[in-house]
Amino acid sequence: MIGQVVRLDITYREKTHSWAFKAFFEPDFVWQHGVWSEIPVGIYLRSQHVTRDVAQFHAAGLTWMLCEWIEPDDCPKTRPGRSYDSLAQQQQLTPLNPLNYANYSRHGIRLDLGGIQKIYWGRRIRDFAYTLVFYHRRVHREGWRFLSPYLNCWTLRYLLARVKWLLFLRRPTCAFEQKVTVSDEKPSRQGPQDS
């Protein structure tokens, strides 16, 4: 497990603000992409006013991050700011991974950014080398037992879908894309969801 998210409700001047506090259990993995890792990207996206389809970053340390809590009925159409896709096209950034549908709200707002990078030739080769080094160090430090939480049906299904997507360079049909529909009507209010 890379991290855990909890909801913080802070009441100030009779108004309650909700925040998502994320604690990273594997900070080496979080910082693997260097300046394009999750925390610096959160700062960069906030400076570029990307808030329409991404949870807004607020604060961070080396092993924790605080960002906006996305309510179940929040919809990109009703949120201010620009979308990530418009910035990605302008700045030549990698697209968000559509296979990580657990990282999206039911209306398509990205809750957990992960690593974002500039698009350049050889990026995937560099990423593969960094990943090998990261896991090689981890095997020497902890042994093979660190893989036990990841050995399940969901991870295998995700891995196969990711390989298919990378080999055929096309956007796959995943459960997130099939079940998410954005409508003009405001859905009924539901209880809080884990992000």
Residue 153 burial (C-beta neighbours within 10 Å; 0-12, 13-18, 19+) = exposed
Whether 42 contacts 84, CB under 8 Å = no
Q: Three-class SS of residue 84?
A: helix
Distances (CA, A) of 6 to 28, 69, 193, 195: 21, 9, 10, 8
Strand (E) or helix (H) holding 166: helix 153-168
pTM for the complete prediction? Answer: 0.68
pLDDT for residue 82: 94
Q: Three-class SS of residue 146?
A: helix
pLDDT for residue 36: 72
Whether 10 contacts 19, CB under 8 Å = yes
Location of structure tokens 């398509």: 108
Whether 20 contacts 122, CB under 8 Å = no
Where are the chain's structural domains? Answer: 3-119+152-179
pLDDT in tens, 144-191: 887 787 778 888 888 888 788 777 755 433 344 444 444 444 444 444
pLDDT in tens, 33-76: 666 778 888 899 999 999 999 999 999 888 888 999 998 888 99
Tokens for 16, please give them: 């309650």
What is the rounded CA–CA span in Å between residue 184 and residue 62? 40
